Structure formats: structure tokens, C-alpha cells
Amino acid sequence: MRMRFCRSARRCSHWTVARNSVEKRISSAATAAMVGLSVSRTPLHIWRGKVRCSDPAINAERDNRLRERHGVRLDRLDAKAIRDLEPNLAPLYHRGVLFRDAYTIDSPKALAFALAEAILKRGGTFMCGEARGLMATQAGASVRIDGHEHSADHVVIACGAWSRELAHRIGDRVLLDTERGYHVLFPSAGKLLHRPVCHTEYGFYMTPMADGMRAAGTVELGGLAAPFNPVRTRVIRSAVATLLPGAGEGSAEWLGFRPSMPDSLPVIGAAPSSPRVTYAFGHGHLGLTLAGISGRLIAELVCGRPTTIAVGGLRPDRFNSVGWPRAASQG
Ligand SMILES: Cc1cc2nc3c(=O)[nH]c(=O)nc-3n(C[C@H](O)[C@H](O)[C@H](O)COP(=O)(O)OP(=O)(O)OC[C@H]3O[C@@H](n4cnc5c(N)ncnc54)[C@H](O)[C@@H]3O)c2cc1C
């Protein structure tokens, strides 16, 4: 299954979705600012000059030109400019770029709580529990939570990487997998950096957060059931000690499950098996970034209104057409 997922991957872009979320001011950062959370800007990518036989600068520059073609504004920096911005970084870099229009939220948890509060104020209600069953009928859909059936006119499945199993319950097969990522918190290093920094050869970000410095990233194709792999966090800890001397000891570690589709685009659209069920998952590395526009698109679809952007390319069954491998059961 995992090989099929990799084979189906193609160079594809989420630029349209991302750009619209910024232009229409429905990004998570705009929402966070509205509810008074700290939002900062300008993440920094850095890289070395020629290392052995590879040259990270060539790859970085190719990526930067692609970004610029899609309207991403960035400033190219030399080593001195990087040192002036982030003096606590070990000088293991030669070049970098600063992303002018990118934003960071220093507490996704606080954002989630603020949004939940706003929903409650508008009359929404929450029920906590694991959905173990999903059924669709002509008149609506029902979800079984903790042994009780709950019926509704419409159900939205937004369970991240676990959505695949629920979709399967009503006969839909989607080529959803998970790109697992790891996280280590460095509680005493929160003030060492002024912005998120990614040393592009290491594959993770160091980000100042409300509760310390978060080192998070890497990609592991290991499914939902494989155990936590401590080698990953050891590598992150050792790289942080190299890149940011003075970061101190890392504490909390976790493994997260990015819900990913082979083309890096989310699934947003009606379930092929029922117009009463709508899918919203598969946001991969960009679930927080694209949350605002995804929420708007889902609301528009469920209410039968024209959508802010065309969503045909995000439909759940796009991999079932000719030329794509059919979705298989989760491995
Ligand atoms: C290390 C790491 C760093 C990341 N950094 C960024 C970043 O900087 N910016 C960014 O935009 N994105 C980032 N992401 C990606 C982002 O976290 C995901 O894209 C996002 O969480 C996906 O949101 P989701 O709501 O679809 O799924 P999830 O966040 O996985 O949420 C799904 C929820 O559904 C619940 N659930 C599952 N099954 C059931 C069930 N049967 N019944 C009831 N509930 C159920 C789960 O418990 C979970 O709470 C990162 C991810 C990782 C792992």
C-alpha cells in the first residue's frame, strides 16, 4: 500500500488553495489575530554552501524560484544578514531566505480553544466520543458514538488520517495515508530565536512557541499503528544541539499523524456514495494553514452555495479515474 501511495505522488500544487486563504483573509493566522493571539511573521530557511558532492544551495534556489513564480515574496540573505537576525544560531549556514508574507501562531491549542468558544457563543454544541459507525440514507446520515446513534441531515467527516476508515464504512475508498512527524519541546529555549527557522538539510523547524522552542518535522511513512520511533526524536535532539547551542534539554516528545494524499491536496467534497456526507481531510503538512479556507469551503458545500474557489480538483474520488491506481485498503 505504501509503495502505491508513493507511486501515485506527483508534482502538484496547493498554491491556489493557499493563496486564496491569504487573499480572502480567512487564514488561521488572521483568525488568531482576531481573537487576540500572538501572531508573528517571516520564517527563515537557511542552508550551507557546497557539502561533499552535493550543493544544498542549488536545490534551495530551485525551490525559491518555484515559490516566486507562484507569487511568494521572499528576501535572499547572506550569512551576515542571517547572523544579525538570529545571533544564537550556530554559524552552519551560508545563505538563507526570509518569507515576507508567512505567519506563525505561537499556540495552536489556544487558537482551537478560542474557536470552540466562538462556536459555543453562536449556539453550537460539542459532544466528545469516538465515532465507530457511519451510515448514510436518502434523508440524512447517522453516526454511532459510544454505542448511541446520532442522526443528522448532514455529516462532515474531518477525522484527519483516521477518516479513511469511516469513509470505508459507507463504501468509499480513498487513497489517504499518513506522513508521521515528530516533535520535541525545549522549554528554556523559547527566547533564543525570533522566528521559525528551518535548516533545510535537517527536515524540521525550530519555532519559538508560547511554552518554549518547538523542534518538529521529519516525515515517516509508517501508518497509524506502528509504534513511536525514539530514533527520530534522538536525531532531532542531536541536530538541535548542533544548530542551536544553548537550547538546553528537550522535554515533551510526541508523534503526529499528518493526513496525506499522494498529490498533497486535501479532500474537500461530497462523499461519492452519499450527498449527505461531506469529506474534509488529507491536509498533509498544511492543516493549520488551510483550516480557514477549508472551513469556508465545507460550509459553502453543505449549504449548497457557490464555493469561494473551484473544488473539483479536491474531490474524494479523483484517484479512482483512469490513469490513477485505485485506492486500496489501509496497510
Ligand atoms: C510535527 C508536525 C508539524 C506540523 N506543522 C504544521 C505547520 O507548521 N503548519 C500547518 O499548517 N500544519 C502543520 N502540521 C500538519 C497539521 O498538524 C495537520 O495537517 C492537521 O492537524 C490536520 O488536521 P485535521 O483536523 O484534518 O486532522 P487531525 O489534526 O489529525 O485531527 C483529527 C481529529 O479527529 C479525531 N478522530 C479520529 N478518529 C475519530 C473518530 N472515529 N471519532 C471521533 N474523532 C476522531 C482525532 O482524535 C483528532 O482529534 C504539522 C504536523 C506535524 C505532525
pLDDT in tens, 125-143: 999 999 999 999 878 999 9
Q: What is the pLDDT of residue 329?
A: 40
Residue 281: pLDDT band (50, 70, 90) is very high
273 is in which domain, residue-wise?
109-176+263-320
Answer yes or no: do 227 and 85 share one domain: no
Domain boundary among 83, 101, 119: 101
> What number does the ligand 1 atom closest to the CA of 163 have?
38
Give the residue whose CA is nearest to atom 30 of ligand 1.
160
Tell me what pLDDT residue 36 has. Answer: 74
For ligand 1, atom 46, the nearest C-alpha belongs to: 159
Q: How far is CA 324 from the centre of its chain?
A: 24
Q: pLDDT for 93-102, tens place per residue? A: 999 999 988 8
Cell numbers linked to 98: 526570509
Q: Is residue 19 domain-resident?
A: no
Kindly report, residue by residue over 56-79, the tens digit of the pLDDT.
788 888 889 998 998 889 999 999
Q: Cα–Cα distances in Å, from 225 out to 229, 254, 330? A: 12, 15, 11
Determine what percent of the chain is predicted with pLDDT higher than 70. 86
Query: Does 181 contact ligand 1 (Cβ within 6 A)?
Result: yes
Ligand 1 within 6 A of CB of 283: yes
Q: Which residue's CA lies nearest to atom 25 of ligand 1?
A: 160
- Residue 281 CB–ligand 1 contact under 6 Å: yes
Q: Ligand 1 centroid vs 158 CA: distance in angstroms? A: 9
77 and 200 fall within a common domain: no
The pLDDT value recorded for residue 51 is 63
User: Do residue 74 and residue 206 come from a single domain?
Assistant: no
Beta-strand relationship, 95-99 and 212-220: unpaired
Residue 254 pLDDT exceeds 60: yes
Of 101, 134, 168, which closes a domain? 101
- Does some domain include residue 25? no
Round to whole Å and give the CA distance between 3 and 274: 30
CB atoms within 10 A of CB 308: 16
**Summary mean pLDDT of the chain:** 88
In a domain, 34, yes or no: no
303 — pLDDT class (breaks 50, 70, 90): very high
> Would the CB of 130 count as within 6 Å of ligand 1?
yes
Take residue 201 and report the three cell numbers written for it: 538539510
Higher pLDDT, 320 or 225: 225
Q: Is the CB–ligand 1 distance for residue 173 below 6 Å?
A: no
End-to-end CA, the chain:
6
Residue 108 has pLDDT above 70, yes or no: yes
Contact call for residues 253 and 231 (beta carbons, < 8 A) = no
In a domain, 327, yes or no: no
Same-domain pairing of 90 and 158: no
- Domain edge (last residue) among 61, 81, 101: 101
At 283, is the pLDDT very low, low, confident or very high (cuts 50, 70, 90)? very high
- Return all residues near 304 (Cβ < 8 A) that are at least 6 apart: none
186 or 24, higher pLDDT:
186
For residue 259, how far is its CA from the centre of ligand 1 (angstroms)? 7
Residue 269 has what pLDDT? 96
Q: What does the DSSP assignment read for 258-284?
A: EEE-TTSPPEEEEETTEEEEEEEE-BG
Report the DSSP pairing between strands 212-220 and 155-157: unpaired
Co-location of 191 and 253 in the same domain? yes
Whole-number Å distance between alpha carbons of 171 and 279:
13
* 147/108 Cα distance (integer angstroms): 31
User: How many distinct structural domains can be found in the chain?
Assistant: 3
Given a cut of 80, is residue 289 above it in pLDDT? yes
Alpha carbons within 13 A on the beta-carbon side of 283: 19
For ligand 1, atom 48, name the residue with the nearest CA: 159
Q: Are 218 and 285 in contact (CB under 8 A)?
A: no
For residues 81 and 197, membership in a common domain is answered with no
Q: What is the pLDDT of residues 129-185, one digit of tens each?
A: 999 999 998 789 999 999 999 999 999 999 999 999 999 999 999 999 999 999 999
Residue 18: per-residue pLDDT: 60
DSSP bridge pairs for 269: 279
Flag whether the pTM goes above 0.85. Answer: yes
Co-location of 205 and 313 in the same domain: no
Q: What is the pLDDT of residue 49?
A: 76
Whether 119 is covered by a domain: the verdict is yes
Q: Is the pLDDT of residue 17 over 80?
A: no
